[in-house]
């Protein structure tokens, strides 16, 4: 079963992807981008919320002649399953003349929302994630076809030198001495204050590569961050699933592949919280522990529209309608998938609700959102949460070759014998990436992995909680074993007793496993 096949059935064989009609990607204006995001939210009110940084956070609009430009944001998730889920942030066009990033953000939103309920994998992502998209961080620069953004003090600023980590006053092109002097940088910071983004992608243009920390002058080209291995592994997955259009993206540290800059967003998103001594103390946040990337989409900042591609073969790298937008939408999807491990039944609907004492049932499942499966098996017992409280388990299995969690996820299977009468609860569980993310020589020295992604796979319990917004509490919970939603089977009785658990009900997962 391959991730690149649109027709893969992932939710216990219930849903199948329908062929997509061909829609070539075209460039938006500022107004048409805003209108499309608003329309997507109107068309999918249970899955999308449209808001602006101005309305939500009280930031000023950016004057542009008679216009007052705002920073639109779209949140995508299945709200019926709650809001305390693994979060990701996609940022486009901090540099106003690097326009494809905005198109990637809009196209990703459209694909996720319009595919919900028909494509099983994309439905899973919307159910299990909170996806925040700021497609145009620099609307003024975009409208004028320039890199710069107006500063709040004076003149013009390079927004990607305006963040918090290792900011040298007025490096490169600036006239403002203070951090977050651009409204776009403030909008990103306000999001970070309220959320715990596992990964942050920042789309640019002018070359073609994927880069990650370290990238500031205080770190050498050979410096490994405490999460360098995790950064490299996810970067390679992004590059691989992005595919061969105009060449597979190289992946590496910013300092090595592109050169150092002061206060870029990716180093800030990764380290501003845990290495706060090297960040601007005037703008504290506990949320910046993201695996963070700059994705340089195309050698031309505004490539020909014909190179953007279309959506008919969007999940297939190298497909007939591949292009820069299609390639980078896939990169976003691969990243959204990875931000937290999850276990999915593949034969839940086929399992009996009632069996005799001593009968054997066959459980089949997949483990996703990871790099390696260190240990996976089925746990069962009389407690409704058998991931934690179990009396028996199947033989352990593992899978570390290839990419078992993503491109062709491994199908695991185990036989379970239920030994006595009563209600038994079963769930497949998995331990993943337990040693894969450890660094040999990190800088700063002797610092263990700091990202939410790495820590959540190697530590138990609540690792971070954000209550800045009382209407939405965000939590990072670490687990050594991740489980699917439990299934109840009645043994030796004449009627079904499921204690409220229904096949395919993902709300059970959020209640029991988290």
Same domain, yes or no: 182 and 302: yes
List Cα–Cα distances, 240 to 33, 342, 352, in angstroms: 29, 21, 40
Least confident of 36-45, 55-64, 272-281, 501-510: 501-510
Predicted confidence at residue 506, as pLDDT, reads: 37
User: pTM for the complete prediction?
Assistant: 0.91
Q: Which of 338, 363, 381 is the last residue of a domain?
A: 338
Predicted confidence at residue 88, as pLDDT, reads: 98
**Which residue in 378, 357, 427, 367 sits closest to 403, CA to CA?**
367
CATH number at residue 194: 3.40.630.10
Predicted confidence at residue 171, as pLDDT, reads: 53
Residue 463 lies in a domain: no
Same domain, yes or no: 319 and 351: no
Residue 444 lies in a domain: no
d(CA 476, CA 59): 28
Of the pLDDT bands very low, low, confident and very high (cuts 50, 70, 90), residue 154 is low
> Exposed, middle or buried by CB within 10 Å (0-12, 13-18, 19+), for 306?
exposed
Residue 448 lies in a domain: no
Mean pLDDT value of segment 156-162: 91
Residues in the chain: 514
Per DSSP, the chain holds a count of helices (H) and strands (E) of 12, 24
Q: Which of 322, 338, 354 is the last residue of a domain?
A: 338
**Which residue in 217, 209, 216, 159 sits closest to 188, CA to CA?**
159
Same domain, yes or no: 235 and 95: yes
Same domain, yes or no: 304 and 380: no
Same domain, yes or no: 52 and 185: yes
The number of angstroms, rounded, from the C-alpha of 10 to the middle of its chain's C-alpha atoms is 19
Predicted confidence at residue 503, as pLDDT, reads: 38
Same domain, yes or no: 141 and 289: yes
For residues 480-512, b (16+ Cβ closer than 10 Å) or e, as one string?
ebbbbbbbbbbbeeeeeebeebebeebbbbbbb
Q: What angle do CA 34, 39, 45 make, to 5 degrees?
A: 125
Q: Is it the case that residue 18 has pLDDT exceeding 50? A: no
Predicted confidence at residue 156, as pLDDT, reads: 84
Same domain, yes or no: 404 and 284: no
Q: Is it the case that residue 180 has pLDDT exceeding 90? A: yes
Token representation of residue 255? 């300092």
d(CA 220, CA 253): 10
Least confident of 7-11, 224-228, 246-250, 457-461: 7-11
Predicted confidence at residue 167, as pLDDT, reads: 82
Same domain, yes or no: 252 and 358: no
Predicted confidence at residue 152, as pLDDT, reads: 67
List Cα–Cα distances, 140 to 143, 156, 187, 251, in angstroms: 5, 11, 14, 30
d(CA 137, CA 71): 6
Q: Is it the case that residue 14 has pLDDT exceeding 60? A: no
CATH number at residue 507: 2.60.40.1930
Mean pLDDT value of segment 26-50: 98
Q: Is it the case that residue 3 has pLDDT exceeding 50? A: no
In terms of pLDDT, which residue wins out, 4 or 240? 240
Predicted confidence at residue 502, as pLDDT, reads: 40
Predicted confidence at residue 494, as pLDDT, reads: 46
Q: Is it the case that residue 41 has pLDDT exceeding 70? A: yes
List Cα–Cα distances, 88 to 351, 494, 498, in angstroms: 34, 46, 34
Mean pLDDT value of segment 430-459: 92
Predicted confidence at residue 132, as pLDDT, reads: 98
Mean pLDDT value of segment 19-25: 71
Residue 178 lies in a domain: yes
Same domain, yes or no: 307 and 354: no
Contact 389, 381 (CB under 8 A): yes
d(CA 85, CA 513): 12
Of the pLDDT bands very low, low, confident and very high (cuts 50, 70, 90), residue 173 is low
d(CA 384, CA 379): 11
DSSP-assigned beta bridge partners for residue 362: 415
Q: Which residues contact 441 (CB under 8 A, 6 or more apart)?
A: 224
Q: Is it the case that residue 431 has pLDDT exceeding 90? A: yes
Residue 75 lies in a domain: yes
Contact 194, 466 (CB under 8 A): yes
Q: Is it the case that residue 511 has pLDDT exceeding 50? A: no
Residue 2 lies in a domain: no
> Exposed, middle or buried by CB within 10 Å (0-12, 13-18, 19+), for 361?
buried
Predicted confidence at residue 175, as pLDDT, reads: 56
pLDDT digits (tens, 9 = 90+) for 128-144: 999 999 999 999 999 99
In terms of pLDDT, which residue wins out, 382 or 153? 382
Q: Which domain range does residue 277 map to?
A: 31-338
Predicted confidence at residue 248, as pLDDT, reads: 98
Same domain, yes or no: 234 and 377: no
Same domain, yes or no: 300 and 283: yes
Q: Which of 313, 338, 363 is the last residue of a domain?
A: 338
The values of phi and psi at residue 405, to 5°, are: -95, -5
Mean pLDDT value of segment 25-32: 98
Residue 454 lies in a domain: no
Mean per-residue pLDDT of the chain: 90
Residue 447 lies in a domain: no
Contact 345, 368 (CB under 8 A): no
Contact 20, 354 (CB under 8 A): no
Token representation of residue 75? 């949140």
d(CA 23, CA 103): 14
The values of phi and psi at residue 119, to 5°, are: -100, 120
Mean pLDDT value of segment 492-504: 46
Least confident of 103-112, 197-206, 431-440: 431-440
Least confident of 77-86, 116-125, 327-336, 497-506: 497-506
For residues 109-124, b (16+ Cβ closer than 10 Å) or e, as one string?
bbbbbbbbeebbbbbb
The number of folded domains in the chain is 2
Of the pLDDT bands very low, low, confident and very high (cuts 50, 70, 90), residue 8 is very low
Same domain, yes or no: 323 and 429: no
* Percent of the chain at pLDDT exceeding 70: 89
């Amino acid at each position: 079963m391959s991730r690149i096949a649109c027709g893969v059935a992932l939710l216990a064989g219930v849903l199948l992807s329908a062929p997509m009609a061909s829609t070539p990607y075209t460039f938006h204006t500022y107004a048409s981008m805003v209108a499309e995001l608003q329309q997507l939210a109107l068309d999918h009110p249970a899955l999308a919320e449209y808001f602006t940084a101005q309305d939500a956070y009280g930031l000023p609009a950016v004057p542009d002649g008679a216009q007052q430009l705002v920073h639109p944001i779209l949140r995508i998730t299945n709200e019926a399953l709650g809001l305390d889920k693994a979060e990701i942030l996609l940022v486009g066009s901090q540099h106003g003349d690097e326009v494809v990033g905005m198109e990637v953000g809009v196209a990703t939103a459209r694909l996720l929302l319009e595919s919900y309920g028909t494509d099983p994998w994309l439905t899973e992502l919307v159910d299990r994630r909170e996806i925040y998209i700021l497609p145009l961080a620099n609307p003024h620069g975009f409208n004028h076809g320039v890199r710069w953004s107006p500063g709040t003090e004076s003149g013009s600023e390079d927004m990607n030198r305006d963040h918090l980590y290792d900011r040298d006053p007025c490096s490169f092109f600036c006239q403002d001495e203070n951090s977050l002097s651009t409204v776009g940088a403030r909008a990103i910071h306000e999001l970070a204050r309220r959320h715990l983004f596992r990964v942050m992608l920042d789309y640019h243009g002018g070359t073609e590569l994927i880069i990650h920390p370290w990238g500031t002058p205080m770190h050498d080209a050979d410096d490994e961050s405490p999460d360098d291995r995790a950064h490299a592994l996810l970067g390679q997955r992004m590059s691989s699933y992005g595919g061969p259009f105009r060449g597979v993206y190289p992946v590496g540290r910013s300092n090595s592949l592109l050169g150092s800059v002061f206060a870029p967003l990716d180093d800030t998103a990764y380290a501003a919280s845990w290495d706060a001594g090297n960040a601007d103390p005037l703008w504290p946040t506990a949320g910046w522990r993201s695996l963070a990337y700059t994705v340089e989409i195309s050698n031309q900042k505004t490539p020909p529209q014909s190179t953007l591609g279309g959506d008919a073969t969007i999940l297939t790298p190298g497909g007939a309608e591949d292009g820069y937008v299609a390639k980078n939408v896939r990169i976003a999807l691969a990243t959204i998938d990875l931000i937290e491990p999850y276990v999915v039944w593949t034969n839940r609907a086929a399992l009996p609700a009632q069996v005799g004492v001593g009968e054997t049932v066959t459980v089949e499942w997949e483990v996703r959102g990871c790099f390696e499966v260190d240990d996976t098996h089925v746990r069962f017992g009389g407690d409704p949460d058998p991931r934690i409280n179990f009396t028996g388990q199947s033989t352990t299995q593992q899978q570390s070759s290839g990419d078992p969690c993503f491109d062709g996820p491994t199908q695991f299977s185990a036989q379970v014998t239920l030994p006595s009468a009563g209600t038994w609860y079963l769930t497949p569980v998995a331990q993943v990436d337990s040693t894969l993310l450890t660094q040999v020589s990190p800088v700063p020295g002797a610092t263990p992995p700091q990202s939410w992604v790495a820590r959540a796979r190697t530590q138990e319990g609540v690792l971070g909680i954000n209550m800045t917004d009382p209407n939405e509490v965000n939590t990072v919970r670490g687990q050594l074993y991740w489980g699917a939603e439990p299934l109840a089977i009645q043994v030796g009785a004449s009627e079904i007793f499921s204690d409220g658990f229904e096949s395919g009900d993902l709300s059970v997962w959020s209640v029991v496993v988290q």
